[in-house]
Amino acid sequence: METFDKTKEINSLEFYAKEPNEKLDKIANMPEDNRPPKLENLFQLDGYLRSYEHEIVRRYNVFNDSLKRIEQIPGGLEAFTKSYNEYGIHVAKDGTVVCHEWSPGIDGMSLVGDFNKWDVNANPYEKLEFGKWRLVIMPNADGSCVIPHNSIIKIAVKKDGQVFYKLSPWAQYVTCAEKEIVFHQKLYNPPHPYQFKENRPKPSQSLRIYEAHVGISSPEGKVNTYRAFADDVIPRIHKQGYNTIQLMAVMEHAYYASFGYQVTSFFAASSLYSRCGTPDDLKYLVDKAHSYGIVMLLDIVHSHASKNVDDGLNRWNCTDGGYFHDNPRGFHTLWDSRLFDYTQIETQRFLLSNLRWWIEEYRFDGFRFDGVTSMIYHSHGMCDSFGHYDHYYGLNGDTDSLVYLTLANYMLHKFYPNVITIAEEVSGMPGLCRPVDEGGQGFDYRLAMAIPDLWIKILKHMRDEDWEIASIVHTLENRRYGEKHVAYAESHDQALVGDKTIAFWLMDKEMYDFMSTASPLTPIIDRGLALHKLIRLITYGLGGEAWLNFIGNEFGHPEWLDFPRIGNNESFHYARRQYNLIDDDLLRYKFLNNFDRAMNQLEEKHHFLSRGPAYVSWKHGSDKVVVFERAGLVFIFNFHSTQSFPGYKVGVEVPGVYKIALDSDAAEFGGHTRLDPNQEFHTYPEGYAGRSNHIAVYIPSRVVIVLEKVH
């Protein structure tokens, strides 16, 4: 292991300027016995991983080396990951403006704006060591800041006799005038900044996540505001029984239609052309959620960055390098974006500090990391065939990205014990959601991304009578043991133009004409309402250890999602959510909304998400019936399109008296009320389907019932 001088700062231009082969030699020569302290826990969960112990240990050693490197910097990990206190542009209490940047290889930089008439020579930065620059602007004679609140500012970067106007990578507030294209940084220094009123709620062990996008959350064709979302939408989310909100598109992105995934300013709360609101407005939103006991997750994008040059991180120091790889590895051809060099100490400083910024400044409670599959493979997961362990631990694995994600999770869980981290990861990389000290990457959950693909494939290509019940159950259960998954039937991906939501696949031919209770209940609408409920509940109950719903899908939103763009004449018509549809008592959307709330209430009462996996006792191909038990509940699904089954024999483990806790056929859910809600089901001591007892139930076609033990 390399010996570090504790009195000396380890900078990118010291260590990372060394030859690549020298770096690889250091990694290769790390001691083999520096194993994760709890590695055996990982092997007990999956014995096949023993064959890859060398690679798991190697990756852990690279992480450990990176962590030690950071700890040698003055202030260690604590100060390093709060570098937003130093970097960027800040106003001290006495009115002094203090600026600090890292931009290696440039000739000079200065701060310009309305305050100095955009004079590139008025306020130059001082050049420091290792590519760093510093500027101090003293206050006015009366102690006021020279740069007024909300003043437009930029950094003039000088290179080879030219001047390039940039935004600070650490910019905290950027806006764009209505008829302009390029965003500008504003000095956000309000005289009376927002003061948080609420304490952070403690996360539930059963996450019921509402995935939301502020901009589209109004029924009107506009970009909605943080305050309107807080006042109008959060109460709805709370009433529905969700305990977590996953907020999308908060990091500033110049192109609205990118859905927030082409980030231009990583520390700036999106204002979307000044439409969403100010940083204080976002704080108000988070505070309002906390007042309802709702945990707030941020959709974080550290997998790539926008290629924008004038208002993005790209070519910040007038090269393709800086925070990114200065070679083809620094470009994502499919996403047309830039890729970070995660070994670069200043990139680590920037991204790790970015995570703490959103927690400390805005009080978010955790993150959903976007694009993890793209990060952890050199191929970015494109055209890969996942499943074989050699793929996870072979040369396609990107050690740099895996180490960064491990650093991020280690840091977050060290400083914030209640933090939640979720990986958008489809390959099934072993250990991704195991603790760092076991040799894992430390995530708490990963998205069960195969499930929505399954439902779309079935609805698009298969007749009801051809549904393969065993295959459906297998996909819902097929996840890594000991690693928690977020189950979902559909997310924002399925809502976008080019795809269809489940409701649209089921009912789009008649949703505009027959969703009124005053109109006939057609076979298409009847089928759609029934299957929408069954698909969501079987995914909820069987597919993971947490549940996620995308905004509007809880009531079968009747239209896809399409942001304003040239192809639709910049229309906002499809960039909205029509909550008014569930407020209209004459429309059938209320039935789906009621069922969604009932599912959450059932989970809140029994916490089946966090009480171990389900036991599937029955999956009958021709009957189209699935039975499983979880947390003492008995879930019975009949997917058959026409056949109802009286006296259907169902195995149960625990003897006693059961009653219906949830019935998708109830009137409040738009059903046909074929079941008696007060009926009791007594167990018989004869075992059945691998269970110690059994009951007999009437299960109508396209209905799910959930039984709970009452005696």
* Strand 484-487, strand 445-447: pairing: parallel
Length of the chain: 711
Q: Residue 89 — φ and ψ, nearest 5°?
A: -120, 120
Q: Is the backbone of residue 435 left (phi > 0), alpha (psi -120 to 50) or beta?
A: beta
Tokens of 699: 């299960």
Cα within 13 Å of Cα(298), Cβ side: 29
280, 281, 341, 370: the catalytic one is 370
CA distance 43 to 431: 10
The residue among 499, 478, 476, 477 whose CA lies nearest residue 489 is 476
Q: Is 424 a catalytic residue?
A: yes
Distances (CA, A) of 381 to 332, 371, 372: 12, 10, 10
Q: How far apart are CA 518 and CA 400, in angstroms?
A: 60
Of the residues 211, 252, 398, 424, which is catalytic?
A: 424
- Cβ atoms of 279 and 172 within 8 Å: the answer is yes
Residue 656 exposure: Cα atoms within 13 Å on the Cβ side = 12
For tokens 């809140």, name the residue. Answer: 604
* Residue written as token pair 């930029």: 154
Rounded CA separation 334/466 (Å): 35
Catalytic residue list contains 2: no
Enumerate long-range contacts of 21-24, CB under 8 Å, 24 or more apart. 23/343
**Burial state string for 604-639 with b = 16 or more CB within 10 A and e = fewer than 16:** eebebbeeeebebbbbbeebbbbbbbbbbbbbbbbb
Q: What is the 3-state secondary structure (H, E, C) of 494-510?
A: HHEECECCHHHHHHCCC
Rounded to whole angstroms, how far apart are CA atoms 297 and 358? Answer: 10
Q: Which helix (H) or strand (E) holds 476?
A: helix 469-477
Greatest alpha-carbon span in the chain: 90
CA distance 209 to 140: 49
β-pairing, 184-186 vs 174-175, is antiparallel
Q: Which has the closest alpha carbon to 393: 5, 2, 631, 48?
A: 48
The CA-based angle 377-379-381, given to 5 degrees, is 70
- Taking the chain, what is the end-to-end CA distance rounded to the nearest angstrom? 63
399-415 and 345-360 helices cross at what angle (nearest 10)? 40
Structure tokens at 518: 């005053």
DSSP calls for 182-241? S-EEE----SS-----SPPPPPPSSEEEEEEEGGG-SSSSS---HHHIIIIIHHHHHHHT
- Give the C-alpha separation, 157 to 111, whole Å: 9
Q: What beta strand segments (E) does 363-456 contain? A: 366-369, 420-423, 445-447
Coil/strand/helix, residue 434: coil
Query: Residue 401: which of 469, 499, 332 has the closest Cα?
Result: 332
Bridge partner residues of 340 (DSSP)? 324
- Give 253's contacts (C-beta < 8 A, 6+ positions apart): 260, 261, 262, 263, 264, 270, 306
Q: How far apart are CA 481 and CA 592, in angstroms?
A: 32
Q: Hey, what's the torsion of the CAs at 297, 266, 302, 92, to 10 degrees?
A: -80
**Active site residues per annotation:** 370, 424
